């Protein structure tokens, strides 16, 4: 068989999780919580199954769930979204990104990708015969160098992928970033893939700069969300995409022949759960406490944090501890400290020698405490 992805191996998340299991390490690598999701939501799924909602859902998603999402968008971002024509429920955010890229890309198109980048973007672009154009975010605050974006835009540029809050760094878009983005693409047909799977996991009272707030940007965007990430149930693999009607019409053509429809009882349950505004409003504070707790515990280890403003993650520089490349140091940490992380170079295609590891702090306090104690011991 001729590989369609000859450069691609096994994802870093699988690799590090396996390594963690083999060495009985605490897994702060792959981004998933080790605490129980809200039992109210579990109970709602049980109830939906008992009530007989066990057959195919509508291909675009259960209408009540799409209505609930539209209500949430109106409440949070003051934008009216037509649930009938502009929202599609998908089996997770990763799938929605793939579908959006497949919907718009033709062979030879270029897509601007900021690095470090979530690892699915580039293979998705390549599978569509298009070309990723890389721009490095500015270390150490991982800001977007807008001058470079201006230089790299040309008539082949089909899309820009934006991810805020950002995985792996927790960097976020500011209002100024939005202005730059607006100015740069105003007279172009460029689409935006806006990966907003951490929309609610944003800290320090900062406002999430969703594309949904800006009608001029929204008319060319695919906004991506993940219920798994939002509600601490990553194994659910359920999310959605919002896009203007002409874009969504094409998105749905791809979607209907790929998965056709998603898990019915979970959609029924989420439609009810989204009515409970506090459940999503309290998420940022809840996860921020974990960031702060872990950050404090890490003091004195020699690891230096690079501030995260959102997501499940905080990056730490280890220049004071080792000269090893990050993938080598990450392996050492698993084997000798019993802690799995993700080397941030795994999110780059253009080589970087930054000495940075990503830690997932979406864990029970006991897990974070034990992890920090192991690191204290290792770095002593």
Which residues contact ligand PMP by CB under 6 A? 31, 92-94, 118, 163, 167, 195, 197, 226, 228-229, 234, 237, 239
Q: Is 3 exposed, middle or buried (0-12, 13-18, 19+ CB in 10 A)?
A: exposed
Strands 339-340, 239-243: pairing is unpaired
Please say which residue, 198 or 203, places its beta carbon nearer to ligand GLN.
Answer: 198
Q: For the stretch 262-288, what's the b/e string if a residue is b when 16 or more beta carbons lie within 10 angstroms of its beta carbon?
A: bbbbbbbbbbbbbeeeebbeebbeebb
Asked if residues 312 and 31 have their Cβ atoms less than 8 Å apart, the reply is yes
Of 338, 93, 371, whose CA–CA distance to 240 is shortest?
Answer: 93
Strands 239-243, 313-317: pairing is unpaired
Which of 31, 91, 132, 170 forms a contact with ligand GLN (CB under 6 A)? 31
**Cα dist from 331 to 298, 367, 376, whole Å:** 19, 20, 17
Q: Please tell me the count of residues contacting ligand GLN according to CB under 6 A.
A: 5
Helix (H, G, I), strand (E, B) or coil at 358: strand
Asked if residues 209 and 77 have their Cβ atoms less than 8 Å apart, the reply is no
Least separation in angstroms between residue 96's CB and ligand PMP is: 8
Least separation in angstroms between residue 315's CB and ligand PMP is: 14
Q: Find which of ligand GLN, ligand PMP, none residue 226 binds, CB within 5 to 8 Å per kind.
A: ligand PMP
To the nearest 10 degrees (0 to 180), the angle between helices 93-104 and 245-256 is 110
Least separation in angstroms between residue 149's CB and ligand PMP is: 19
DSSP-assigned letter for residue 40: H
Q: Which residue is nearest to ligand PMP (CB)?
A: 92
Determine if the peptide bond prior to 116 is cis (ω within 30°).
yes
Please say which residue, 86 or 345, places its beta carbon nearer to ligand GLN.
Answer: 345
Q: Find which of ligand PMP, ligand GLN, none residue 302 binds, CB within 5 to 8 Å per kind.
A: none
Q: Find which of ligand PMP, ligand GLN, none residue 93 binds, CB within 5 to 8 Å per kind.
A: ligand PMP
Please say which residue, 167 or 261, places its beta carbon nearer to ligand PMP.
Answer: 167
Contact track, ligand GLN, 149-188, x by CB under 6 A: ------------------x---------------------
- Please state, in angstroms and rounded to a whole number, the distance separating the CA atoms of residues 243 and 85: 9
DSSP-assigned letter for residue 58: P
Q: Does residue 30 bind ligand GLN (CB under 6 A)?
A: yes
Q: Find which of ligand PMP, ligand GLN, none residue 228 binds, CB within 5 to 8 Å per kind.
A: ligand PMP
Q: Find which of ligand GLN, ligand PMP, none residue 33 binds, CB within 5 to 8 Å per kind.
A: none
Report the first-to-last Cα separation within the chain, whole angstroms.
50
- Please state, in angstroms and rounded to a whole number, the distance separating the CA atoms of residues 54 and 56: 7
Q: Find which of ligand GLN, ligand PMP, none residue 13 binds, CB within 5 to 8 Å per kind.
A: ligand GLN
Cα torsion at 97, 98, 102, 107 (round to 10°)? 110
Least separation in angstroms between residue 183's CB and ligand PMP is: 25
Least separation in angstroms between residue 95's CB and ligand PMP is: 6
Please say which residue, 13 or 139, places its beta carbon nearer to ligand GLN.
Answer: 13
Return residues touching ligand GLN (CB under 6 A).
11, 13, 30-31, 167
């Amino acid at each position: 068989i001729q590989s369609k992805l000859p450069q691609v191996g096994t994802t870093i998340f699988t690799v590090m999780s396996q390594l963690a299991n083999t060495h009985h390490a605490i897994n702060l690598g792959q981004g998933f919580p080790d605490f129980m999701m809200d039992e109210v939501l579990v109970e709602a799924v049980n109830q939906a199954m008992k009530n007989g909602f066990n057959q195919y859902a509508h291909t675009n998603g259960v209408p009540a769930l799409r209505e609930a999402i539209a209500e949430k968008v109106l409440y949070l971002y003051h934008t009216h979204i037509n649930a009938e024509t502009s929202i599609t429920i998908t089996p997770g955010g990763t799938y929605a990104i793939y579908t959006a890229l497949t919907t718009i890309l033709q062979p030879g198109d270029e897509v601007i990708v900021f690095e470090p980048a979530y690892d699915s973007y580039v293979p998705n672009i390549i599978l569509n015969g298009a070309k990723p154009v890389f721009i490095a975010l500015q270390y150490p605050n991982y800001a977007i160098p807008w001058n470079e974006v201006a230089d790299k835009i040309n008539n082949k540029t089909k899309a820009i992928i934006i991810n805020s809050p950002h995985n792996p760094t927790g960097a976020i878009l500011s209002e100024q970033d939005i202005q730059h983005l607006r100015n740069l693409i105003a007279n172009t047909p460029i689409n935006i893939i806006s990966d907003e799977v951490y929309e609610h996991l944003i800290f320090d009272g900062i406002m999430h700069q969703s594309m949904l707030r800006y009608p001029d940007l929204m008319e060319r965007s695919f906004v991506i969300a993940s219920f798994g990430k939002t509600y601490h149930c990553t194994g659910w693999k359920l999310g959605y995409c919002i896009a203007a009607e002409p874009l969504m019409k094409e998105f749905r053509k791809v979607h209907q022949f790929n998965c056709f429809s998603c898990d019915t009882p979970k959609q029924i349950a989420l439609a009810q759960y989204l009515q409970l505004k506090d459940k999503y409003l309290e998420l940022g504070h809840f996860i921020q406490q974990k960031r702060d707790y872990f950050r404090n515990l890490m003091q004195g280890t020699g690891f230096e944090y690079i501030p995260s403003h959102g997501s499940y993650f905080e990056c730490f520089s280890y220049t004071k501890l080792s000269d090893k490349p990050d993938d080598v140091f990450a392996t050492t940490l698993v084997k000798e400290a019993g802690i799995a992380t993700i080397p941030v170079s795994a999110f780059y295609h253009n080589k970087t020698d930054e000495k940075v590891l990503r830690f997932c702090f979406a864990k029970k306090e006991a897990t974070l405490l034990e992890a920090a104690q192991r690191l204290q011991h290792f770095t002593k």
